Amino acid sequence: NAGVTQTPKFRVLKTGQSMTLLCAQDMNHEYMYWYRQDPGMGLRLIHYSVGEGTTAKGEVPDGYNVSRLKKQNFLLGLESAAPSQTSVYFCASSYSPGDEQYFGPGTRLTVT
């Protein structure tokens, strides 16, 4: 099992460009999460999903959109990137909210 994978690993964008980050899990988990990790800020939840076809806002959703068309995939989109979105993005999945969250390796995004 690959667990949780993220694509791409690194990306550099110019202000105003768009991109999509892909998260995939092969553990048949219902719950999936997108976080951003910034120095001194810890992990902050962007959006999450409690099952295929569902999405919900987290703590810092502005400037991001998500989709969960298939159970195993959770996409994070930036429609118009801003320098404030420079961060490391982590995807995670879990069987239920009280269970262990399994994390992906992260995507390092730089917006210039």
**Spatial contact of 98 and 107, defined as CB atoms under 8 Å apart:** no
Contact flag: residue 97 with other proteins (CB under 8 A): yes
Task: Give the C-alpha distances (Å, rounded to integers) separating 35 from 1, 9, 90.
Answer: 23, 15, 5
By the rule CB under 8 A, 61 interacts with other proteins: no
Q: How far is the CB of 3 from other proteins (least distance, A)?
A: 8
Interface mask toward other proteins for 11-40; x: CB under 8 A: --------------------x-x-x----x
Of positions 48, 64, 74, 89, contacts other proteins by CB under 8 A: 48
Among 104, 107, 109, 111, binds other proteins (CB under 8 A): 104
d(CA 13, CA 109): 8
Reduce the secondary structure of 14-48 to three states and give it as a string.
CCCCCEEEEEEECCCCCEEEEEEEECCCEEEEEEE
**Residue 41 touching other proteins (CB under 8 A):** yes
* Beta strands 19-25; 10-13: pairing state: unpaired
Q: Which residues bind other proteins (CB under 8 A)?
A: 31, 33, 35, 40-45, 48, 50, 56, 58-59, 90, 92, 97-98, 100-101, 103-106
